[in-house]
Amino acid sequence: MLIEPEAPIALSDYDPAWPDLFERERLLLAEQLAAWLTGPIEHIGSTAVPGLCAKPVVDIMAGVPTLEGSRPAIPAAAPLGYIYFPYRAEVMHWFCKPSPAVRTHHLHLVPIGSKLWEDRLLFRDRLRGDPAAAAEYAALKAALAERYRTDREAYTEAKTPFIARILAKARQG
């Protein structure tokens, strides 16, 4: 099988259509994966923060009871165009759509109430409520996208200290 290379990192200005794209996908996922979901389907990541630049990929997190118990959801997501990858398989089931080279959606099946579940919602909500933090994050992302244009893993890892700092501040109140 020929593996397509990943598309370079390219940030877009905030698109007010992103919440609608999420909602349409949420409805499809809620029906297709109902047997394995145990909680809400959340819009996460930068496309979930109004005004924030982002890779134009809608990140979706769906709550499952356990990773093992939700393993059958992996093939069940395929008819919706999701391709599974064992990325961070110890904490989630991760998918992209429609391909690694051209992505419009990421799906993260995450155990409800896990640290990852809580952290992703806390980070999103903090950026939604703190314009200064969102602006700082946008500037960081722009610099990192330039530096790591063809290395998504390095781009993601380089954001980790900022995310950890924002999460620590959010936990303090």
d(CA 7, CA 103): 8
**Euclidean distance between CA atoms 114 and 61, whole angstroms:** 12
pLDDT at 22 over 70: yes
DSSP per residue, 98-119: E-SSSEEEEEEEEETTSHHHHH
CATH numbers and ranges of domains, the chain: 18-172 (3.30.460.10)
Q: What is the overall mean pLDDT for the chain?
A: 95
Residues 104, 106, 110, CA angle at the centre, nearest 5°? 165
Cβ–Cβ under 8 Å, residues 159 and 141: yes
pLDDT score, position 2: 45
Q: What percent of the chain has pLDDT over 90?
A: 91
69 DSSP 8-state letter: T
Stretch 71-95: mean pLDDT: 97
- Amino acid code (one letter) for 107: L
The stretch 51-64 carries a mean pLDDT of 97
pLDDT tens digits, one per residue of 101-143? 889 999 999 999 999 999 999 999 999 999 999 999 999 999 9
Residue with tokens 């799906």: 107
Token look-up 């499809």 returns 28
